[in-house]
Chain A
Amino acid sequence: MASIDVQGVRKNYGDVEVLHGVDLTIRDGEFIVLVGPSGCGKSTLLRMIAGLEEVTGGDIHIAGKHVNHLAPKDRDIAMVFQSYALYPHMSVADNMSYSLRLRKTPKEKIASAVGAAAAKLGLDPLLERRPKALSGGQRQRVAMGRAIVRQPKAFLFDEPLSNLDARLREQMRAEIKKMHGDLGATSIYVTHDQIEAMTLADRIVAMHAGVVQQIGSPLDLYDRPANLFVAGFIGSPGMNFLEGTYHSGDGKADIRLSDGTAIPIRPREGLRDGYAATLGIRPEHVELKEDGSWQADVELVEPTGLGIILHLSIHGQSFKIFTADRAVLSPPPSLQVNFPEEHLHVFDEDGNRAD
């Protein structure tokens, strides 16, 4: 187990810079999730920590040791790949013990390590099988087993659940969380699935276009997104945004939409009078009230079982509401809604949060 320290790490492919200086300190035993859309650099960062990509600039320390120029095999980390990357010509037991055999671990030790890992993951009856005789979920388990037999300094997961179907993904997600609870191993987990990020992480690192947007606990990111990207990326259905200009005076403030409608908010620091600003509110925080102050036209109703997603339009801007109230399954053509002040997020003209 170890801490991982990433300082000012940059990555270039030719002239193209794909990571623009990432700083990240991971404490011993922490579960960090790197989340972001495809191409944001999260996998590249993970592979640089693993030693599979060269570091263009900056420093990476694992357990206090500078590892920029160390080969992957000397970093003592384990990695779980999206494609599982099992050795097709070896049995499950051989797959799991390969790293130990490479280290010339005594036979009895290998047997007990593989046995313990197999028992933990329910792989006992499969130990003699070849990977191609396993189902997707079993292969995923073998890939995890291969990582845990070695008791490495850190686990790196590269979208390990992306190839599984939804049900199995949910199940494996819980197992990964349980495994982390048991082992307490430092883990870095890359995903584009925000549910995985929210459920697994001690801290989430949200990335976009090679830049870290926000680092914080899952609820931090959910409740206080640092900028428009994080606000829009975290949460499903996504946050509603209303674009307008900020006006303040006399201890009052409002955001004026393009058609002149003013939505009153409390004054915020960091916002400049007359400049563009964006108002955000999560669909589940919008209140449906008969005496609500805003009229919305209903465009579409999406029942999900758990609740209902209403697609609305407010002053020409599209808008979503999530509610558990089944009365709106057949809604009138227009509704009245309220935006509770305590759930409003306001972002300045550069997209950064203003409080």
Chain B
Amino acid sequence: MARIAGKKSRLTWAVHISVALLVVAWLFPTVGLFVSSFRTADQISGSGWWAALFPAEQNEVYRTGDPDDDRVAVGDMFEVKGNIFEGEPRNISSWGVSSRDVSAFAPGETADMGDGETLTLADDGAYVWRGTDDQISGRGQRIFVTALVPPKFSLENYRTILFSGTGQDNMAKAFFNTLTVTIPATIIPIVVAAFAAYALAWMEFPGRALLIAAIVGLLVVPLQLALIPLLRLHLAIGIGKGYMGVWLAHTAFGMPLAIYLLRNYMVGLPRDIIENAKVDGATDFQIFTRIIVPLSFPALASFAIFQFLWTWNDLLVAKVFLIDATGSTTVMTNQIVELLGTRGGNWEILATAAFVSIAVPLAVFFAMQRYLVRGLLAGSVK
């Protein structure tokens, strides 16, 4: 026994590598979305999100002040002085005065532009442009600067998506629509399934085994099969398209797994405890509310997480049972699909929209993940 249990498999390294690959495969796009959502459209097209965290070398073009306004006579020459950065200093690595050679000079050097015309650019961006009357005229001289730009992030995209955007860009309404779908669609099946699971686990009645078998059978029915008949039923009995319809649909589709999971958990609770409660004088309802529900909390929580994630990410059921022509009940998944059409090129908007839609599931997962693990293992090991 000790040899079998204690010996490490020689394939441990394969497990570790697989886990690392899986983690990377999942994290890479998520982090990418997250970082992109804080960048502007120009930054996204200029460099990849992985470069956004570090200072980047950037070529920028500035112009000196307009000679007509700013030039000052110094002897028989004229000068224009100023600072190209105007209070926002950059770390200049090199600069130039011609687009053919943008990094001809180091900071502090003086460029000779022929016929006595010179331009000096200091570290801090201060410049002196000197020349004859003829030379210092017209438009300001162009200065090409290669500078190290610190990473820059903004919340502008979130402001657009959540608050200020117009029409399709604003997801705030869709966010609350999704919550309106998700919360009841999580609570209703849990409540119903918990009662059913208790009855199937601990109450004696004829046909119980058949009922359990039927529920297990329902687990394999794909929900796509039932979409159209169910919608016809909803329309026929007057529920129509709307929140009530989508709640009922989610409840129905989640019920077999909910009952199955909860029953299996409850049936593993010690019989003595339930019998003792019976002898103590509890009715079935009291046993359920005071003993079974508190003890089944890990299983309830783990199913709640599952159901929440499914309904939050659901597009199909919402499209069939909820979203009508007015579009006032659109959910986030649907709005993101529409954004893909209308703002397909605006990656910053799409990334932000995507991250808004996964933020809540992430928060739910991290808040309750210990129940998720415990609930899934529950019953398998005592």
Query: Which of A71, A83, A87, A103 contacts B278, CB < 8 Å?
Result: A71
**In the complex with contacts A81-B275, A85-B276, A88-B295, A103-B281 CB distance below 8 A:** yes
Q: 1/0 per residue B272-295: CB within 8 Å of A? A: 110111111111001000110011
What 3 A-B pairs are tightest by C-beta distance, nearest first? A85-B272, A99-B280, A85-B276
Measured CB to CB, the closest approach of chain B to A30, in angstroms, equals 20
A72 neighbours in B (Cβ, 8 Å): 275, 278-279
Cα of A72 to Cα of B278 in the assembled complex, Å: 6
B282 neighbours in A (Cβ, 8 Å): 73, 98, 102
Contact A102 B279 (CB under 8 A): no
Measured CB to CB, the closest approach of chain B to A189, in angstroms, equals 15
Q: 1/0 per residue A210-231: CB within 8 Å of B? A: 0000000000000000000000
A residues 96-127 touching B (CB-CB < 8 Å)? 98-99, 102-103
The reply to whether the CB of B114 lies closer than 8 angstroms to some CB of chain A is no
Contact A78 B279 (CB under 8 A): yes
Some 17 contacts from A to B, beta carbons below 8 A apart, are: A50-B279, A51-B279, A52-B278, A73-B279, A73-B280, A73-B281, A73-B283, A77-B279, A79-B275, A83-B272, A84-B272, A85-B270, A85-B275, A87-B273, A87-B277, A99-B281, A146-B280
Measured CB to CB, the closest approach of chain B to A290, in angstroms, equals 54
Contact B272 A81 (CB under 8 A): yes
A51 neighbours in B (Cβ, 8 Å): 278-279
The reply to whether the CB of A89 lies closer than 8 angstroms to some CB of chain B is yes
> A residues near B, CB below 8 A?
50-52, 71-73, 75, 77-79, 81-89, 98-99, 102-103, 146, 150, 156
Contact B295 A89 (CB under 8 A): yes
Contact B279 A52 (CB under 8 A): yes
Contact B291 A52 (CB under 8 A): no
Inter-chain pairs besides A99-B281, A102-B281, 13 sampled, C-beta below 8 Å:
A50-B275, A52-B279, A72-B275, A72-B279, A77-B279, A81-B275, A82-B272, A83-B272, A85-B276, A88-B273, A102-B286, A146-B280, A156-B279
Cα of A88 to Cα of B270 in the assembled complex, Å: 11
Cα of A83 to Cα of B273 in the assembled complex, Å: 9
Q: Please give me the residue from chain B that is nearest to A88 by CB atom.
A: B295
Measured CB to CB, the closest approach of chain B to A153, in angstroms, equals 12
Total chain B interface residues with beta-carbon distance under 8 A: 17
Q: Please give me the residue from chain A that is nearest to B204 by CB atom.
A: A54
Cα of A242 to Cα of B372 in the assembled complex, Å: 65
Contact A52 B275 (CB under 8 A): yes
Question: Which of B276, B282, B290 has the most chain A CB atoms inside 10 A of its CB?
Answer: B276
Cα of A268 to Cα of B5 in the assembled complex, Å: 64
Measured CB to CB, the closest approach of chain A to B310, in angstroms, equals 29
Contact B272 A87 (CB under 8 A): no
Contact B270 A83 (CB under 8 A): yes
Q: Please give me the residue from chain A that is nearest to B283 by CB atom.
A: A73
Question: Which of B270, B277, B280 has the most chain A CB atoms inside 10 A of its CB?
Answer: B280
Measured CB to CB, the closest approach of chain A to B208, in angstroms, equals 16
Q: Please give me the residue from chain A that is nearest to B294 by CB atom.
A: A89
Measured CB to CB, the closest approach of chain B to A60, in angstroms, equals 15
B residues 224-279 touching A (CB-CB < 8 Å)? 270, 272-273, 275-279
Measured CB to CB, the closest approach of chain A to B288, in angstroms, equals 13
B283 neighbours in A (Cβ, 8 Å): 73
Cα of A150 to Cα of B272 in the assembled complex, Å: 19
Q: Please give me the residue from chain B that is nearest to A158 by CB atom.
A: B272
**In the complex with contacts A87-B291, A88-B295, A102-B286, A79-B279 CB distance below 8 A:** yes
Cα of A72 to Cα of B282 in the assembled complex, Å: 9
Query: Which of B276, B290, B291, B295 contacts A81, CB < 8 Å?
Result: B276
Measured CB to CB, the closest approach of chain A to B281, in angstroms, equals 4
B281 neighbours in A (Cβ, 8 Å): 73, 99, 102-103
A81 neighbours in B (Cβ, 8 Å): 272, 275-276
Measured CB to CB, the closest approach of chain A to B325, in angstroms, equals 50
Contact A102 B280 (CB under 8 A): yes
A78 neighbours in B (Cβ, 8 Å): 279-280
Cα of A193 to Cα of B290 in the assembled complex, Å: 35
Cα of A50 to Cα of B273 in the assembled complex, Å: 14
Cα of A73 to Cα of B277 in the assembled complex, Å: 9
Cα of A258 to Cα of B126 in the assembled complex, Å: 127
Question: Which of B275, B282, B283, B294 has the most chain A CB atoms inside 10 A of its CB?
Answer: B275
B286 neighbours in A (Cβ, 8 Å): 102
A79 neighbours in B (Cβ, 8 Å): 275-276, 279
Cα of A281 to Cα of B275 in the assembled complex, Å: 43
B270 neighbours in A (Cβ, 8 Å): 83, 85
Cα of A71 to Cα of B281 in the assembled complex, Å: 9
Cα of A78 to Cα of B280 in the assembled complex, Å: 7
B273 neighbours in A (Cβ, 8 Å): 85-88
Measured CB to CB, the closest approach of chain B to A24, in angstroms, equals 20
Cα of A79 to Cα of B294 in the assembled complex, Å: 23
A83 neighbours in B (Cβ, 8 Å): 270, 272
